[in-house]
Structures are given as structure tokens and as C-alpha cells.
């Protein structure tokens, strides 16, 4: 069986540093931080009182009031970024074969805000329990994919992947594989998360997973820095249109990049900590490259998982050096989480967009907030600190890892017919 080729034809983003894909890209290149004191609720009693929120988002700008009430924020975010991506791809919704157009979405948590508010509203009250009839439909993690398909009438494969912070990367890999096999022509993919609420902040704080740098939020996400003290909680959505090459060419679509690999692995090590030698990370990069027979020496750029956590930021560079050898020092590495914070299940999508645009434009966004080298990290690696850098980017990887030891890696290549 001859495998198909897969390309990217549309992008949409709703992030803490930009409410569209162009805004997001511009902010990345400027090195802007999305971290600031929390405005969604009173966080004064929490150890951490800041996050990377989506700024100035009003659901009523995008949905009528009745519709907005049916969507948890994670679904609202998904619908907004998807509308942008569908328009960006120039999809003819009337002429499209909707039986061969699917939606595979990613979310690590789903409707956490809905769950928290419904349970908090019931807790401790006497009398018959009262819950909203929308409680379950708003909360379940698959509902964003369902609403996208309902809005546009897409009847192809439709589901959600949940693998913690690797969720949207796993969703995109499934899209890539299904198009390769000829199961669909187009997939709407990506991920969304909306965990900046009392439950999300409190849960991650109790794990000691997030930064407590309340005196200086904008520099709190500092991947690979000696004084990093945890990730910065973020939220948002990213949508990417995956399309079979010949289908895209027939309709004259613009093509951002080609997808040439998708790797998946498990650390099989610990519930929340990465394998200390980066074993799973090495395996997943090898798996991504094996799809198209790409040699490690062809990789120019890696958008790392780079969360600003004490253990993760040691393990991933070890994996890069262990897998790539001497070539590791020729790769431009970065962590866009230094600017966006950690979008959890949406991280893979947001970072894939940054990686795709790096390939298209031959520019590497920076890793900001680096102040002190960590002696446990190989500092001969090129982490693209402080400023964006122009360089040829033929093939790039986007790494995403999640609690439970889930690892995913996507490979993007500059498109050539």
C-alpha cells in the first residue's frame, strides 16, 4: 500500500500571548511573557497567585449567551481557534466531502471549571441535589471535538485523546497516521485547556509543581535555568488543519509545512517524574524520525517540552545529547513555555504551531528568562536564549511529555513538491 503525504494547511491559536496565530507568532518572536497576577478569581490565599491567562477573552464576542452557557471555557477556546484555522485553510464547507473530514482533539483535563463549580455549588447543602443538566456534557473531555463536528458537519473520525500534557500531540499523531493510511482527507486537530481556576491552581500547587515566584511572574517560567522552581500554569487552544497532499494541491491550498513523522513512547518509570536519563524522550524522537527514514543529522530545530521544572529540564537535554550525539550541538533548541506558560493538554498544539512557523519562516523563537546556567544541564547546547534567531530550518521536532510518562513527538519538514 502506498502511503499518502500529509501537510499543514491551516492554523488557529488562542494563547496567553496572542488571540490569533499571527498575534501569537509575533509575540513569540518578541519574547513576550504571558504571566501576570490571576484575574479570574481571588488567588490571594494560594501559594501561587499568578498564571498565564488568556487575556481579555469575552465569550459573548464569539457566541450568543444561550450558546456560551453550554460550553465550558475549554470548549469555548477550542471553537474560537478552530474557526480561525478553518478560515485560514480556506476550506469550502459546501464543497468539502464531510464524510472524509474528521476531528481529533486533545485535552488533558477537559471541563475542570464546570466540574469545580457544580460540585462546590452542591457541597454541604441540604435537600435534593441540584445540578445543571449541562454539567456532564460541559465537563467531559471529548465534548470539544463533538461540538466542532456539529458546527461544521464533519462526519469523519471524531474523538479526543487524553494523555495529560501530551494529549494534543497524540491527537495530531493520530490524524497524521489516519491520513497516511487513506482513512480521511482532512482532520481538524489540536487541543484546548482551561485549568486556571481554584481547583487547577490548588491541585498543581499541592504537588509543588508550579512556580511560586509571585514577586516577578514574568520571569517565573525559566526553562533550563538553575533557579527554576516549577512551571507556570497556562491556558488556551491551538488548532491545526492536517490535509492529504493531493487533496490540498487540488484545491490550491497554501501549505505551511509537511508532517513527516509522529513518535510515541512511555517512560514506564514514575507517575509524575520523567525518566532521569530521558529514556522515553530518546525513544519518542527516534520513533518520529523512523517514519520517513530521516537521519538525526537532518534535524535543525527542536521545540522542547521545557517546562521549567527541576527534573524535566535535566532529563530532556540528556535525551537530546544521548540520541543525537555530536549533532545535538548544531540543533537550535528552545522552549516557548518560557513565554506561554504550560498549556497542559493544549501545549502540544500551541508548540506545534510555533514549530511549523519556525520551519516556514526560518526563524527560531527564543527561550526567555535565562539568568544562570545549571551545572546539571549540558550548557554547550544551543537553547536560543533571549532573542529569536534566523537560521535555515529544514526539519524540526516538537516534543511533548505528560504525567504518567506519556511522550509524543511530531516532525515537520519544509514543504517541497
The answer as to whether 360 is a domain residue is: yes
Q: Among 204, 223, 250, give the residue marking a domain's end.
A: 250
Q: Which three cell numbers stand for residue 129?
A: 441535589
The answer as to whether 313 is a domain residue is: yes
Number of domains the chain contains: 2
pLDDT of residue 292: 80
For 280-306, the pLDDT digits (tens) are: 999 999 999 998 889 999 999 999 999
Residues of the chain with pLDDT > 70: what percent? 100
- Residue position matching grid coordinates 485553510: 89
Q: Which of 305, 370, 406, 409 is catalytic?
A: 305
Confidence check: pLDDT of 279 > 90: yes
Average pLDDT, the chain: 97
The answer on 272 and 208 residing in a single domain is no
Q: Residue 73: which CATH number? A: 3.40.47.10
Contact 362, 331 (CB under 8 A): no
The answer as to whether 235 is a domain residue is: yes
* Residue 342 annotated among the catalytic residues of the structure: yes
Residue closest to 238 by CA, chosen among 20, 60, 26, 67: 20
Q: List, as one string, the DSSP characters of 274-298.
A: PPTT-HHHHHHHHHHHHTTT--GGG
* Residue 175 annotated among the catalytic residues of the structure: no
Q: List, as one string, the DSSP characters of 306-355.
A: ----TTHHHHHHHHHHHHHGGGGGGSEEE-THHHH-B-GGGHHHHHHHHH
Please, is 71 exposed, middle or buried when counting C-beta atoms within 10 Å of its C-beta (0-12, 13-18, 19+)?
buried
* For residues 81-94, average pLDDT: 97
The answer on 285 and 240 residing in a single domain is no
The answer on 115 and 74 residing in a single domain is yes
The answer on 267 and 208 residing in a single domain is no
Residue closest to 16 by CA, chosen among 231, 251, 337, 332: 337
Q: Which of 52, 147, 165, 406 is catalytic?
A: 165
The answer as to whether 1 is a domain residue is: no
The answer as to whether 59 is a domain residue is: yes
3-state SS, residue 52: strand
For 5-43, the pLDDT digits (tens) are: 999 999 999 999 999 999 999 999 999 999 999 999 999
The answer on 192 and 148 residing in a single domain is yes
pLDDT of residue 53: 98
The answer on 245 and 187 residing in a single domain is yes
The answer on 336 and 225 residing in a single domain is no
Confidence check: pLDDT of 369 > 80: yes
The answer as to whether 256 is a domain residue is: no
Q: Which of 275, 342, 370, 406 is catalytic?
A: 342
The answer on 61 and 34 residing in a single domain is yes
Q: State how far the Cα of 307 lies from the Cα of 289, in Å rounded to an integer.
A: 23
Confidence check: pLDDT of 85 > 90: yes
* Residue 409 annotated among the catalytic residues of the structure: no
Residue closest to 150 by CA, chosen among 240, 58, 78: 78
The answer on 270 and 241 residing in a single domain is no
pLDDT of residue 166: 98
The answer as to whether 367 is a domain residue is: yes
How many residues would you count in the chain? 417
Enumerate residues 6+ apart whose C-beta is below 8 A from 336.
28, 303, 306, 350, 351, 354, 365, 367
Residues of the chain with pLDDT > 90: what percent? 95
Question: Domain of 270?
Answer: 263-413
Contact 361, 394 (CB under 8 A): no
The answer on 172 and 132 residing in a single domain is yes
Q: Which three cell numbers stand for residue 401?
A: 511529555
Q: State how far the Cα of 234 lies from the Cα of 258, in Å rounded to an integer.
A: 28
The answer on 159 and 18 residing in a single domain is yes
Q: What's the half-sphere exposure (Cβ side, CA atoms, 13 Å) at 27?
A: 22
The answer on 145 and 167 residing in a single domain is yes
The answer as to whether 257 is a domain residue is: no
Confidence check: pLDDT of 401 > 90: yes
Amino acid at each position: 500500500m502506498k502511503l499518502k503525504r500529509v501537510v499543514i494547511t491551516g492554523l488557529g491559536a488562542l494563547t496567553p500571548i496572542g488571540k490569533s496565530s499571527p498575534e501569537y507568532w509575533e509575540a513569540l518572536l518578541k519574547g513576550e511573557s504571558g504571566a501576570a497576577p490571576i484575574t479570574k478569581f481571588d488567588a490571594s490565599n494560594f501559594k501561587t497567585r499568578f498564571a498565564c491567562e488568556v487575556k481579555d477573552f469575552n465569550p459573548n464576542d464569539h457566541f450568543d449567551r444561550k450558546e456560551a452557557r453550554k460550553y465550558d471555557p475549554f470548549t469555548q477556546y477550542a471553537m474560537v481557534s478552530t474557526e480561525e484555522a478553518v478560515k485560514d485553510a480556506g476550506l469550502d464547507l459546501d464543497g468539502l466531502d464531510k464524510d472524509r473530514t474528521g476531528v481529533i482533539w486533545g485535552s488533558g483535563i477537559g471541563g475542570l471549571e464546570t466540574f469545580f463549580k457544580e460540585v462546590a455549588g452542591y457541597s454541604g447543602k441540604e435537600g435534593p441535589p441540584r445540578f445543571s443538566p449541562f454539567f456532564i456534557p460541559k465537563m467531559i473531555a471529548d465534548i470539544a471535538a463533538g461540538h466542532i463536528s456539529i458546527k461544521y458537519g464533519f462526519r469523519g473520525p471524531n474523538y479526543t485523546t487524553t494523555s495529560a500534557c501530551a494529549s494534543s500531540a497524540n491527537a495530531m499523531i493520530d490524524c497524521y497516521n489516519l491520513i497516511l493510511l487513506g482513512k480521511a482527507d482532512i482532520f481538524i486537530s489540536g487541543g484546548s485547556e482551561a485549568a486556571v481556576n481554584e481547583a487547577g491552581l490548588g491541585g498543581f500547587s499541592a504537588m509543588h509543581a508550579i512556580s511560586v515566584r509571585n514577586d516577578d511572574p514574568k520571569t517565573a517560567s525559566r526553562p533550563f535555568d538553575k533557579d527554576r522552581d516549577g512551571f507556570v500554569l497556562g491556558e488556551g487552544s491551538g488548532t491545526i488543519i492536517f490535509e492529504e497532499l493531493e487533496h490540498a494541491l487540488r484545491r490550491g491550498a497554501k501549505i505551511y509545512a509537511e508532517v513527516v513523522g509522529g513518535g510515541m513512547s512511555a517512560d514506564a518509570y514514575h507517575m509524575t517524574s520523567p525518566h532521569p536519563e530521558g529514556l522515553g524522550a530518546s525513544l519518542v524522537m527516534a520513533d518520529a524520525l523512523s517514519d520517513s527514514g530521516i537521519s538525526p543529522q537532518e534535524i535543525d530545530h527542536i521545540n522542547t517540552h521545557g517546562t521549567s521544572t527541576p527534573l524535566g529540564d535535566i532529563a530532556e537535554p540528556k535525551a537530546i545529547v544521548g540520541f543525537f550525539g555530536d549533532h545535538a550541538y548544531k540543533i537550535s533548541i528552545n522552549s516557548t513555555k518560557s513565554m506561554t506558560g504550560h498549556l497542559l493538554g493544549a501545549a502540544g498544539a500551541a508548540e506545534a504551531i510555533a514549530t511549523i512557523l519556525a520551519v516556514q519562516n526560518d526563524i527560531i523563537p527564543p527561550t526567555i528568562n535565562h539568568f544562570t546556567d545549571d551545572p546539571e544541564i549540558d550548557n554547550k547546547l544551543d537553547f536560543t536564549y533571549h532573542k529569536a534567531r534566523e537560521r535555515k530550518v529544514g526539519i524540526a521536532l516538537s516534543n511533548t511529555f505528560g504525567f504518567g510518562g506519556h511522550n509524543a513527538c511530531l516532525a515537520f519538514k519544509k514543504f517541497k513538491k
